[in-house]
Chain A
Amino acid sequence: ETGVTQSPTHLIKTRGQQVTLRCSSQSGHNTVSWYQQALGQGPQFIFQYYREEENGRGNFPPRFSGLQFPNYSSELNVNALELDDSALYLCASSLASGREQFFGPGTRLTVL
């Protein structure tokens, strides 16, 4: 059984640029959630995808957007990057009927 994987591991961007982060869900899981974790803080929910549709969104602006593909993998896109977007971005997969969310290793984004 393959766990949740994310790419890239690290990324450095400058303010105003756009970034795409990728996530492959755990085998058999059809729901993907994205979280932002600032240094020294708990993860904050960005949004969740199920059946390629957004299924709940946290308090993040529209420049944070996502996609889910037929194989349940997902992308997080962030436009017009700001310095405060620097964080660890975590992807978690789960079954639509299940409560347990399993996290990937994250992508460390640094915005200069």
Chain B
Amino acid sequence: QQQVKQSPQSLIVQKGGIPIINCAYENTAFDYFPWYQQFPGKGPALLIAIRPDVSEKKEGRFTISFNKSAKQFSLHIMDSQPGDSATYFCAASRGTGKLIFGQGTELSVKP
């Protein structure tokens, strides 16, 4: 019940495409859902986060869609660029405690 399941494991898109990464959770007590971007050899960087009382949030080219009834949320990257090539992790937490991470999606944006 503590797991967060992420898919796909890897994703290849052309420049300008809209990659979509999906996550599902079981624990309905989770109340904070962030997405992190990680480049090789670096720590994860917080991209965008959402609370369950909101169905969508946009920050620049990044959008989170949240479906509370389905217990799913997804990240969309608009107008993707080669510089967006990285590993993306979804996560969930309850309160200010530990983050439970998904398994990660390796995104490659081709020029």
Contact = CB atoms under 8 A, between A and B. Distances in A.
A112 interface: no
Contact of A98 (B6, B36, B91, B96): B96
For B45, B49, B96, which residue has the most chain A Cβ atoms within 10 angstroms? B96
B93 A90 contact: no
Contacts of A104: 43
Interface string B81-111: 0000000010101001111111110000000
B44 interface: yes
For B91, B97, B99, B100, which residue has the most chain A Cβ atoms within 10 angstroms? B99
Interface residues of A, number: 27
A58 B89 CA distance: 19
B41 to A, nearest CB: 8
Interface stretch (A11-19, A38-46, A61-69, A70-78): A38-46
Given A42-B103, A42-B104, A103 B43 contact: yes
Query: Mostly helix, strand, loop or mixed at chain A's interface?
Result: loop
For A43, A44, A56, A94, which residue has the most chain B Cβ atoms within 10 angstroms? A43
B103 A56 contact: no
Nearest to A46: B98
A96 interface: yes
Contact of A100 (B34, B89, B97, B104): B34
B102 A94 contact: no
B62 interface: no
A11 B76 CA distance: 37
Nearest to B94: A99
B98 A33 contact: yes
B103 A99 contact: no
A102 B93 contact: no
A3 to B, nearest CB: 9
Interface string B20-62: 0000000000001010100001111110010000000000000
Interface of B: 6, 32, 34, 36, 41-46, 49, 89, 91, 93, 96-104
11 contacts: A31-B96, A33-B99, A41-B103, A42-B89, A43-B89, A43-B101, A44-B101, A45-B99, A56-B98, A99-B34, A101-B99
